[in-house]
Amino acid sequence: MDPSLSALIVAVVGVTGTLASGLFAHRSALRTKAVELEHAARQSREERVDAERRASLEARRTSYIALNQAMRQFHAALSADRASAAAGEAPGAGREEYRRALRDAYAQAQMIATDAVLVAGGDLVHRLNRIHRLLAAWETSGAPEGGSGAPDGIGERLEESSRLLYEVRQRMRLDLGITELPVERPDGHGES
Helices marked H in 87-114? 95-112
What is 22-50 written as a DSSP string? HHHHHHHHHHHHHHHHHHHHHHHHHHHHH
Q: How many structural domains is the chain composed of?
A: 1
Q: What is the pTM of this model?
A: 0.74
For residue 182, being part of any structural domain is answered with no
Of the candidates 67, 71, 64, the one whose C-alpha atom is nearest the C-alpha of residue 173 is 64
For residue 187, being part of any structural domain is answered with no
For residue 186, being part of any structural domain is answered with no
The CATH number covering residue 116 comes to 1.20.120
Which residue range(s) make up the domain with 43? 3-176
For residue 181, being part of any structural domain is answered with no
pLDDT in tens, 75-127: 999 999 988 887 777 777 789 999 999 999 999 999 999 999 999 999 999 99
Asked whether 110 and 86 are in contact (CB, 8 A), the reply is no
Asked whether 112 and 63 are in contact (CB, 8 A), the reply is yes
pLDDT in tens, 32-55: 888 898 988 899 999 999 999 999
For residue 157, being part of any structural domain is answered with yes
